[in-house]
Amino acid sequence: MLLLALILLPAATGAVAWLAPTARWRPRLLLAIAAIHVAGTASLWWTQDWSAAEGWLSVDALGLVVLTVVSVVFFAVSLYSVRFLENAKVPGARMFISCLLAFLAAASLVALAHHFALVWIGMEATTLALAPLVFFRRDRRSLEAVWKYLVLSSVGIALALFGTFFLAAAQVEGRPLILGDLVRTAASLRPGLLRAAFVFLLVGYGTKMGLAPLHSWKPDTYGEAPSPVAGLMAGALTSCAFLGLARTVAVMTAAHQSDFIRPPLFALGIVSLVISAGFMIGQTDLKRLLAYSSVEHMGILAIALGIGGAGAYGAALHLLNNGLIKGSIFLAVGNVVLLSGTSEASATRGVLRRAPWTGTMLIAGLFAVTGSPPFGLFVSEFTILGSAFHAGLTWLAIVMLLLFAIVFVGMARLILGVVYGTPEAGAGTLTESLPLVLGPLVLGGLVLVLGLYIPPLLQDTLVRAANALGGGTP
């Protein structure tokens, strides 16, 4: 019942927030729901009730990790949004908060669903819930961004549904489209249809993840959406889409199709890395830069899925780290936008002096996102590279390392330019109130901690998640 509450409560509150006439309570309502959601998720960690009925909604290791990312990032974003909405020039709090809550409900559905059709419905709902948020500023550029986002996402979602149908056709015994049954009866799945299902699901959920070459909506969307929304998308939405893909890979691996899925996953992953590295070099806009960083990390996740084994553990860990740090860095960039009115890097200089907390978080975020120690992404990327070497894919690991280096150069150039330097005369400062700073700080701090120490509870869960991806029992 807790699971149902985690989904329905935000949805109901979203409807209430939309209908309620008063404006003052809405932000507090948002915060309250976000806090309740975090509490609920934490209690799931505590109870560790893996033997729950394998029904349409249930908790498994990977789903719990995704749910945690969604929950924590959402809390930080809602905390930030309280102050953000006051500073924003466009009134639209009602739409903003209702859609945020709707997104939370949909994302929780994706994380908790064990029926492929429910996963799909959740993904469709997230797409719809985010569209008005992307269009927040209501100018021509955001119109273009939201249009591209909707068109590409809807085609992706349609193809994902097509893949889901193929999956249903491939199944011979057991309850239709239930993950547990699919994995258990994997030997009897029809291979031809299963492969067709995988192709379509890869394209569909890959579009939502933002894997290249299906990523063209990402830079525009992340660039035009308000920073907290972009952070939510980069942190939570991509994790949900990855979950859809991961569930498919779990079924494929159980059906001994690992050799079939490896080439496309590697191909998309490498293309993502190459494209993101290439487009980061000449980039001038901070949020678009981070969009390409998101593409890069999705590529890493795809490659990790393809490698399997220890790579799957790395994927789960990377999912966690990436989600948290993206939330953090986008919120920091949000502060930069509040400071200078635009996310164009050339318009801002010397953030470290004008807004010290933000500047520090930007530097930390830069190092974290590019996979430097002591942050958590270093550990996860190291694990993935190690598994690549171990599996004999030395060329893959070397290519990845090269591209990581290029990415570092591209990102550092832009971010350090923003952070350091002397601010122009007359440049404003930002009162770094608690809501604007606490969220990103906590998220970044978590990533730092994960780089140094992984608590045994988390370790256990990650191993379970990896086993599920490797085809064992979830």
Partner 1 sequence: MQPFHDVLLLLVVLTNFWVLGTTRLSSMIRAAAMQGLLLAALPVALYPHVSLHIVGLAIGTLLVKAVVLPHFLTRAIREAAVRREIEPLIGFTASLILGAAAVALSFAITPRLELPDTPSGVLIPVALSTVIIGLLVLTTRNKALTQVVGYLILENGIYVFGLSQAERVPFLVEVGVLLDVFAGVFIMGIVVFHINREFDSLDSARLTELRD
The residues of the shown chain that bind partner 1, judged by CB under 8 A, are 117, 120-121, 124, 127-128, 131, 143-144, 146-148, 150-151, 154-155, 157-158, 161-162, 164-165, 168-169, 176-177, 190, 192-193, 196
Task: Report in angstroms how near the CB of residue 450 gets to partner 1 at its nearest.
Answer: 37
Q: Please report how close the Cβ of residue 25 comes to partner 1 at its closest, in angstroms.
A: 29
Helix (H, G, I), strand (E, B) or coil at 164: helix
Closest CA to 173 of 162, 189, 194, 192: 189
* Smallest separation (angstroms) from partner 1 to the CB of 144: 5
Q: Which is nearer to partner 1, 219 or 323 (CB)?
A: 219
Supply the minimum distance, in Å, between the C-beta of residue 156 and partner 1. 11
Q: 101 vs 145, which CB is nearer to partner 1?
A: 145
- Minimum Å distance from CB 340 to partner 1? 25
- Pick between residue 88 and residue 131 the one whose CB is nearest to partner 1: 131
Q: Confirm if 56 and 117 have CB atoms less than 8 A apart.
A: no
Our CB check for partner 1 shows the closer of 225 and 364 to be 225
Q: How far is the CB of 219 from partner 1 (least distance, A)?
A: 12
For partner 1, the closer of residues 189 and 316 by Cβ is 189
Nearest-angstrom CA–CA distance, 298 and 302 = 6
Q: In whole angstroms, what is the distance from residue 216 CA to residue 206 CA?
A: 12
Distance CA 312, CA 266 (A): 14
Q: Which of 121/281 has CB closer to partner 1?
A: 121
Tokens of 377: 């992404």
Q: Which has the closest alpha carbon to 234: 111, 74, 114, 435?
A: 74
* Of residues 121 and 416, the one with the C-beta less far from partner 1: 121
Q: Which is nearer to partner 1, 127 or 328 (CB)?
A: 127
> Cα–Cα distance between 23 and 371 in angstroms, integer?
42
DSSP secondary structure string for all residues of 15-72: HHHHH---STHHHHHHHHHHHHHHHHHHHHHHH--TTS--SSB---HHHHHHHHHHHH
Torsional sign, CA 317, 270, 345, 220: negative
Q: Peptide bond preceding 213: is omega within 30 degrees of 0, i.e. cis?
A: yes
Distances (CA, A) of 157 to 66, 107, 195, 209, 435: 20, 15, 18, 11, 35
CB-nearer residue toward partner 1: 25 or 147: 147
Min dist. Cβ of residue 176 to partner 1 (A): 4
The least CB distance from residue 212 to partner 1, in Å, is 17
For 178, phi then psi, to 5°, come to: -85, 130
- The DSSP line for 219-282 is HHHHHHS-HHHHHHIIIIIHHHHHHHHHHHHHHHHHTT-HHHHHHHHHHHHHHHHHHHHHHHHT
If the CB atoms of residues 145 and 368 are measured against partner 1, the closer one turns out to be 145
| Nearest distance from C-beta of residue 187 to partner 1, angstroms | 16
Distance CA 296, CA 303 (A): 11
Sign of CA dihedral 101, 7, 237, 204: negative
Provide, rounded to whole angstroms, the least separation between the CB of residue 117 and partner 1.
Answer: 5
- Type of residue found at 360: T
